[in-house]
Amino acid sequence: MKATIWHNPRCSKSRETLAILNDTPGVEVEVVEYLKHPPTRARLADLYARAEISPRDGLRKAEDAAKALPRDASEDMILDAMVANPILIERPLVETDHGVRLGRPPEKVREIL
């Protein structure tokens, strides 16, 4: 099985999630450092749809750029902000043929392995 992790190596939850993937027999892991190689808007929207979460649910709300968004920002505005400033993307997102999960907590990725 192939698993793609949208990863930030500086994030402890992302590292913990990557360790789960690497420790799972039969999983081939593709690591995408999303700050260096951000997803397109369409790709990010698809990941959230497959994870059954909204862009708002995938927003790193503690970031200054997120605080600058209007409280009533639309999902489209949030996606646009994430594409313009990928640090706003909550991490890690993991994708397999069985779905997409936000690794918060990291153990959630086991649902799609």
Q: Torsion angle, CA of 101/40/30/60, rounded to 10 degrees?
A: -50
Q: Parse the chain into domains and list their residue ranges.
A: 2-112
Tens digits of residue pLDDT in 65-102: 999 999 999 999 999 999 999 999 999 999 999 999 99
pTM (2 decimals)? 0.93
Provide the pLDDT for residue 16.
98
> Which residues are marked as active site?
11
Instruction: Classify burial at 104, counting beta carbons within 10 Å of its beta carbon; exposed 0-12, middle 13-18, buried 19 or more.
Output: middle
Strands 93-96 and 2-7: antiparallel
Neighbouring C-alpha atoms within 13 Å toward the C-beta of 13: 15
Provide the pLDDT for residue 90.
97
Q: Which CATH number fits domain 2-112: 3.50.50.60, 3.40.30.10, 3.30.160.250, 1.20.120.420?
A: 3.40.30.10
